[in-house]
Structure 1
Amino acid sequence: MDCRNLHVESLLQCASLSKESKSVTFFYVPLTKFCHWDCTITHCALCSENLTREWKHYEIQSVRNAALRQLAHSSSTFPYDSGWYAAGWAVDGKVADYRSAHQCFLSNYETHPWIQIHLDGYYFISFVRLYNRQDGAGERLHDVSLWVFQDAYSFTACGFFKGPGITKQVVEILCEDNVLRNIVRLQIIHGSYNSLALCEVEVFIST
């Protein structure tokens, strides 16, 4: 895990550093007062908690993941074995097996592929967490814009991930929009031969 690191005076100072960099997650070691923020995080389903037991994990307060098992659709689906790559796999609550991209959303190759998720109500969106593909080619996740919609005519760009990503990366995009929204769209906006692959999308809401 690659982070910015600094010895700090307190947990509060660590939280302040994280907020300034618009990081959703940060880590604090109480024993040494060491702060880790602005991290590149990778998903590891089999990692032992003992490896990081001295670190305390913090993130922006949220209520729940409002994207879980909600309606999702996309600009396209990868055409071969397409049933394994449909948009619905990105909101099934599971990060797919690392050995393939099956049960992940995978678009066909196009200029600006996107996935759109309809939440189960109108919410203030706190942050969005993306799980990159686990089997390889993680660098294909790049230049992803986060759009939030109130309706078809009222939307705004809420965040951006430049990338390129890495395999198994967990990307967190902070959303500071203060309008109730019910649709989230993630779209690659640069390049001409792109495939958007996401094993899970979580949309965390605030009160």
Structure 2
Amino acid sequence: MPPWCCVKWRFTALKGKNWAQSTFANQSSTYDSLGQASNAIDGNHDGVYSKGSCSHTKAGDTNPWLQVNLLQTIAVSGVKVYNRQDCCYWRLHDLVVIVLRGPMDGNSCARQRTVNRNVCVLNCWAPIVGHIVQIVKTRLTGVHDVLTICEVEVYGWKIVTDPEYLKSRDNFAIGRDTSMSSASVGGKAWQAVDGILVNTWGSESCISSTLVDRHPWFKVSVGAMFIEAVFIVFRLDCCERYFNKLYVWVDKRILCGRQMEPYKRGAAVGYACPPNTEGSYVLIEKAPRPPYSEVLTLCEVEVYGCRKEDKNWALGSRVVIEDMDNHNGTSYDGHFVTDGDFSNGFKQSICPTFKASNYLLMTIDLRDVYVYVDKIVYIIAVGDGADAPKELFISLVNPTTHYTNDEACNPISRNNTVPGQYVTTTCTGSALDRLASRIVIKKAFKTNSMSICEVEVYGPLAFRV
């Protein structure tokens, strides 16, 4: 059966989180106010056009398309496209799904030629990494053959984080010492850390244990560091059934991830480690098993984190946002500020705007960690609805001594900042003046809105309690 056919038995192939809902969407043209592109990612499957939950391009558009910006990098495994139900279902034909890393860097994921009246499920022939998903209509039957979509759902796996984050982080595994329990002919342990992401055996950049190895494992030594995540590229040409019962360890004592079911061929998967994970090597192993049945086969292993002097202590910390205008003491969970996701496209659930009508305090609680704070970095959102803060105040709080320092890290900015900017504030004073386990950021004036996506805290570790 050709891969572009949309048939009911394939509907169950895509499960898990829908990465498209409530992100950003645009289209080649818009028919009227009811046919906005954002309707296709609102989470509403209603196929009646008059209810305002479908997108619709203009008649005469010779290259109709709909595009979804996922705001983060995803290994896309497939897409569901929901058709219009009140009429015109025959228009949903000859579609191509393209996954893009950038404006000119895209790959075809799946194709659909025949009409599907209800839901079309398009499985990618292999997972494709990107943050933009585009649905293009490649053939028109007439001037009124438009593109109407009542919901788009995108499925796959989240990569460790987006490219902006990875560019600021070194892959600590590349070129480091490696070992493995056994190696099949043509595979050597160092090939899994050679920096080559081509994931077929013929590339001579993949490794495999032998069939007689009953407990296969792979190890890469990275030296003493904080390990935030491990990234594994699996083979594209075979062996997807071998990916189950896989464990990713740091120093064989801290579990960063486990995989109990097979992935699709060619999957690129990130395993996030618990906060403040310290170690010197990463061990990837399969559960012991009977002989002659499975192997451990990988094409690349990457390790992300930092040396102790480069540690971002805010990552994974608890964040509370308090509305000081509300006499009831309303507080909000602000975990998005320290989740390590550097996607900076404005979105209320990722990079929210704190409205100008309120005084707000953002408290970053490092819990049991005390740091001599050297600098604080924050990232401003970009896009429609994002507001760059004009002036913020920072306080360093030491709960043990009940000392609050309002001067060490101020001012962040006496000038206007701009959307998308990375702002760094250097803290001054003696080590004791900068000793803190809580950082409080205050919006200076009620007339000053702000949109912050991420906050980082740097400095030497003082102690843990």
TM-score normalised by length of structure 1: 0.67
Residues 47, 83 of structure 2: 8 Å contact kept: no
Q: Report 1:76-155 matches (<5 A).
A: 76-78=29-31, 82-96=32-46, 98=48, 100=50, 102-109=52-59, 110-155=61-106
Residues 66, 134 of structure 2: 8 Å contact kept: yes
Per the TM alignment, residue 136 of structure 1 is displaced from its structure 2 partner at its CA by 1.0
Residues 100, 135 of structure 1: 8 Å contact kept: no
Counterpart-to-counterpart distance in 1, 2:4 and 2:29? 31
Counterpart-to-counterpart distance in 2, 1:58 and 1:137? 22
Which shifted more, 140-149 or 91-100?
91-100
Match of 2:149 in 1: 198
Match of 2:124 in 1: 175
Counterpart-to-counterpart distance in 1, 2:11 and 2:29? 36
Residues 105, 197 of structure 1: 8 Å contact kept: yes
Consecutive unaligned residues in structure 2, runs of 5 or more: 158-268, 270-465
Counterpart-to-counterpart distance in 1, 2:147 and 2:129? 27
Per the TM alignment, residue 119 of structure 1 is displaced from its structure 2 partner at its CA by 0.3
Per the TM alignment, residue 160 of structure 1 is displaced from its structure 2 partner at its CA by 0.8
Tell whether 2:136 aligns with 1:187: yes
Per the TM alignment, residue 153 of structure 1 is displaced from its structure 2 partner at its CA by 1.9
Q: Per the alignment, in what secondary structure is the counterpart of residue 7 of structure 2?
A: strand
Per the TM alignment, residue 101 of structure 1 is displaced from its structure 2 partner at its CA by 6.3
Counterpart-to-counterpart distance in 1, 2:156 and 2:113? 23
Counterpart-to-counterpart distance in 2, 1:117 and 1:148? 10
Instruction: Decide whether aligned partners of structure 1 residues 94 and 61 sit closer, same or farther in structure 2, where only a CA change above 3 A counts.
Output: closer
Instruction: Decide whether aligned partners of structure 1 residues 140 and 112 sit closer, same or farther in structure 2, where only a CA change above 3 A counts.
Output: same
CA RMSD of aligned residues (A): 2.6
Instruction: Decide whether aligned partners of structure 1 residues 65 and 99 sit closer, same or farther in structure 2, where only a CA change above 3 A counts.
Output: closer
Which one has the largest radius of gyration?
Answer: 2
The one-letter code sitting in structure 2 at the alignment partner of 1:39 is V
Counterpart-to-counterpart distance in 2, 1:61 and 1:142? 20
Counterpart-to-counterpart distance in 1, 2:153 and 2:104? 24
Residues 101, 133 of structure 1: 8 Å contact kept: no
Match of 2:7 in 1: 39
Counterpart-to-counterpart distance in 2, 1:40 and 1:197? 21
Residues 85-118 of structure 1: CA deviation (Å, up to 9, x unaligned):
1000000000125374632101112212000000
TM-score normalised by length of structure 2: 0.31
Q: Per the alignment, in what secondary structure is the counterpart of residue 180 of structure 1?
A: strand
Consecutive unaligned residues in structure 1, runs of 5 or more: 1-19, 25-37, 42-56
Q: Per the alignment, in what secondary structure is the counterpart of residue 119 of structure 2?
A: strand
Instruction: Decide whether aligned partners of structure 1 residues 161 and 22 sit closer, same or farther in structure 2, where only a CA change above 3 A counts.
Output: closer
The one-letter code sitting in structure 2 at the alignment partner of 1:181 is G
Counterpart-to-counterpart distance in 1, 2:46 and 2:68? 18
Instruction: Decide whether aligned partners of structure 1 residues 126 and 179 sit closer, same or farther in structure 2, where only a CA change above 3 A counts.
Output: closer
Higher RCO (CA < 8 A, seq sep 6+): 1
